[in-house]
Structure 1
Amino acid sequence: MLEEIRRVNRETRVQYALMFIFGALCIGVAFAPLEETIRITTVGTLFGFTAGLWVSHLVQVLRRAAELKNADVTGVTGQ
């Protein structure tokens, strides 16, 4: 599994690391002895960052796949 992670590009590794960090912080804050409103707000914010990174990563993967497909089609048709 570590070898697969090392093969992905730098952007993807950074996105995965940030998702892990914000996700871990989200879980940590959820169990922290803070006032309830502060805890809820902080967990929601951290979860929002995590979800935003995940959506951004999915868009990046789809864009890259579309570019590869367009490159294959262009190469096959000779345009």
Structure 2
Amino acid sequence: MLEAIRTANRETRVQYGLMVVFGSLCIISAFAPLADPIRLTVVGTLFGFTAGLWVAHLVQILQRAVKSQTAAETAADST
């Protein structure tokens, strides 16, 4: 697993790193001794950032797959 992360491009590693950071902060803030409205707001915001990064990462992977498939089809059609 670590080898797959090391060979991933820079954008993917940054996205994974940010997901780990925001996810960890989300868990930590869930157990923080804060007032309930503040804790709920912080946890919700951090979870939103984490989920947003995850969705953006999935869209990026899908775009790369479509781009490579289109390039492969174009190369096959030209021969």
Report the TM-score, using the length of structure 2 for normalisation: 0.97
Q: Equivalents in 2 of 1:6, 1:43: separation in Å? A: 30
Pairwise CA RMSD of aligned residues? Answer: 1.0
Match of 1:37 in 2: 37
Gaps of 5+ in 2: none
Match of 2:62 in 1: 62
Report the TM-score, using the length of structure 1 for normalisation: 0.97
After superposition, where does 1:65-76 map in structure 2 within 5 Å? 65-76=65-76
Percent of residue pairs bearing the same amino acid type: 63
1:4: Cα distance to partner? 1.1
Q: Equivalents in 1 of 2:2, 2:52: separation in Å? A: 25
Alignment coverage as a number of residue pairs: 79
